[in-house]
Amino acid sequence: MKQPDLDRFVRERLEPRELPAGLSEAWLTERMKGVAGYSLRLARTLHSERSPYQQIDLYEAAHHGKVLVLDGCLMMTELDEFIYHEMLAHVAAQTVGGPKRAVVVGGGDGGAVRELLKHPTLEHVTLAEIDERVVRLCQEHFPDVACGLEDERTSLHFGDGAAYLEAQPESSLDVVLVDSTDPVGPAEALVTEGFYRQIARSLAPGGVLVAQTQSPFYFPGETVQIHATLQQVFRYTTMFWAVVPAYLGFLWTFCCCSQERDPLAALGGLPEGLHKTLGTRYYSTEMHRGSFALPPFIQACLPEGHCQRAI
């Protein structure tokens, strides 16, 4: 789908409508620690396979469009994927201001790459994804999410993201995005101090890391631990958030990190009208600034010394 078609797809699902007749009674339910769940009514199964790394399932849902599920965890829906990908990519890129070289670790759907490529200064981005099958299936079933993977400025590296970063020259990158799955299995290596130190080494002066850091409602321990680990490595570690309806709890957090660039100090220099410049549907100048304001209950959980401003 092109951008106008995507806009129409989302708009139609925000309006009252009748579900198509003869719809399947199958539901996809993601359960969180046995205490909560999130369910989508499914229209049909598009694909199912076991890769060398994980179970990959693709469905068409009754309301959310196409859906990507990895090892039983909902990763992405057509309806709201733009929210997560826009916030992950543009907060980092605008904090740097004119990034030229970037790496996305994980993110095999290609959404983060698509958003980074909207920045005209970007000369090259590498997607470092361990599971090639995720990338190929998303290119087939989510072409408008994965469209940036065929851009001449994009390179694909299939393998361990941590090893890829370790091999990068010092001070060679402006932006690193960690778009990983939940920190279990192969993704466990992407939340360690050693991994973050490799990122810090590879970032140029003023370079920025943004990593997704889970839900503070259902993964409070993981969220706090990731931020505490990042704080051991980076001078500036600042949480921001977005509302992602497809993720249980809706409120999803990220951390913007840098050795030299304070994400909060950069807020005042943001250009106005960024949603028009970038063609975004969730991210904007105002959303960028507002996303760094945290409710007191979240601030109280963060490690001492964490850079933040209160609502």
pLDDT digits (tens, 9 = 90+) for 139-185: 999 999 999 999 999 999 999 999 999 999 999 999 999 998 666 55
Q: What is the pTM of this model?
A: 0.90
Radius of gyration (C-alpha) of the chain in whole angstroms: 19
How many angstroms separate the CA atoms of 144 and 155, rounded? 18
% the chain with pLDDT above 90: 76
Q: What is the pLDDT of residue 311?
A: 33
Given a contact cutoff of 8 angstroms between Cβ atoms, the answer to whether 46 and 66 are in contact is yes
% the chain with pLDDT above 70: 87
How many angstroms separate the CA atoms of 184 and 285, rounded? 34
Q: What is the pLDDT of residue 32?
A: 80
Q: What is the pLDDT of residue 13?
A: 59
- Assigned token pair, 43: 């229209």
Domain coordinates in residue numbering, the chain = 3-77, 81-310
Given a contact cutoff of 8 angstroms between Cβ atoms, the answer to whether 165 and 197 are in contact is no
Block residue for tokens 């925000």: 14
Residue 182 a catalytic site member: no
Its CATH class, for the domain covering 3-77, is: mainly beta
Active-site position among 5, 131, 179, 182: 179
CATH architecture of 81-310: 3-Layer(aba) Sandwich (3.40)
Q: What is the pLDDT of residue 248?
A: 85
- Residue 20 sits at φ, ψ, to 5 deg, of -60, 145
Positions of the chain with pLDDT under 70 = 1-24, 181-189, 304-311
Report pLDDT digits (tens) over 252-270: 999 999 999 999 999 999 9
Block residue for tokens 């409120």: 251
Within 10 Å of residue 167's Cβ, how many Cβ atoms?
Answer: 10
What is the pLDDT of the chain when averaged over all its residues? 90
Q: What is the pLDDT of residue 231?
A: 93
Alpha carbon of 146 to those of 111, 207, 254, 279: distances in Å? 6, 25, 22, 17
